[in-house]
Amino acid sequence: MLIKACTPSSVLLVCLGNICRSPTAEEIFRQQAAIAGLSLKVDSAGTGDWHIGHAPDERSQRHAKSHGYNISKLVARQVSADDFRQFDLILAMDSQNLADLQAIKDSLTDPVDTLAKLALFSEEDPTYGGDDVPDPYHGDAEDFEEVIKRIESSAQAWIESWKTC
């Protein structure tokens, strides 16, 4: 599912628990969009409900901070039906999250053209296109660093793709 649309006004980034990948992606995307001069509403959420109200994982905070990203004030939340109405584009960190999001979208009674477009976060990335952003939760420091590298690359790829609209 290739999305070639002009710049959205709002982007939601989604992973499983909203404590590692998606909050990191939220801040990276926000900073890269600002640098590119884009005015975007950026948020993140999780498909699961285990960490609602919690700050991002301390390891994610530490690795993000070492790259100039402060995610310490973000708070985990679960994706809701309203997110499909309030965001133009929802980007999933992996194929399972994308399938879960599609199931939620399919259950809504709104006209499909009024709901957010869904895509895999890496979809536009020439380096990681179609790859899942691996969940570092059960990993080590290298896994958290790999996530930042992939998120920076894919966020930049989305922003570049909107310049050609």
Catalytic residue, chosen from 43, 100, 125, 135, is 135
Rounded to an integer, what distance in angstroms lies between the CA atom of residue 50 and that of residue 90? 20
Q: Is this model's pTM higher than 0.85 or not?
A: yes
Read off the pLDDT of residues 22-75 as tens digits, 9 standing for 90 and up.
999 999 999 999 999 998 999 999 999 999 999 999 999 999 999 999 999 999
Rounded to an integer, what distance in angstroms lies between the CA atom of residue 53 and that of residue 48? 12
What is the pLDDT, as a whole number, of residue 110?
Answer: 82
Helix (H) or strand (E) holding 152: helix 141-163
Would residue 6 count as lying in a domain?
A: no
What is the pLDDT, as a whole number, of residue 122?
Answer: 97
Whether pLDDT at 3 is above 70: no
Rounded to an integer, what distance in angstroms lies between the CA atom of residue 53 and that of residue 151? 23
What is the pLDDT, as a whole number, of residue 5?
Answer: 52
Catalytic residue, chosen from 15, 57, 100, 132, is 15
Known active-site residue 140: no
How far does Cα 133 stand from its chain's mean position? 10
Would residue 52 count as lying in a domain?
A: yes
Would residue 29 count as lying in a domain?
A: yes
Would residue 8 count as lying in a domain?
A: no
The share of the chain scoring above pLDDT 70, in percent, equals 97
Known active-site residue 20: no
Known active-site residue 6: no
What total number of domains does the chain contain? 1
Tokens of 30: 């926000």
What is the pLDDT, as a whole number, of residue 54?
Answer: 97
CATH value at residue 133: 3.40.50.2300
Rounded to 5 degrees, what are φ and ψ at 143? -65, -40
Rounded to an integer, what distance in angstroms lies between the CA atom of residue 18 and that of residue 136? 12
Q: Could you tell me which of 56, 120, 126 has the C-alpha nearest to residue 89?
A: 120
Would residue 150 count as lying in a domain?
A: yes
Would residue 5 count as lying in a domain?
A: no
Catalytic residue, chosen from 21, 30, 77, 150, is 21
Would residue 130 count as lying in a domain?
A: yes
Are the C-beta atoms of 146 and 122 separated by less than 8 Å?
no
Would residue 154 count as lying in a domain?
A: yes
Read off the pLDDT of residues 100-147 as tens digits, 9 standing for 90 and up.
999 999 999 888 788 999 999 999 999 999 999 999 999 999 999 999
The range of the structural domain enclosing residue 121 comes to 20-163
Please identify which residue in the block is written with the tokens 């536009």.
124
Tokens of 75: 């708070």
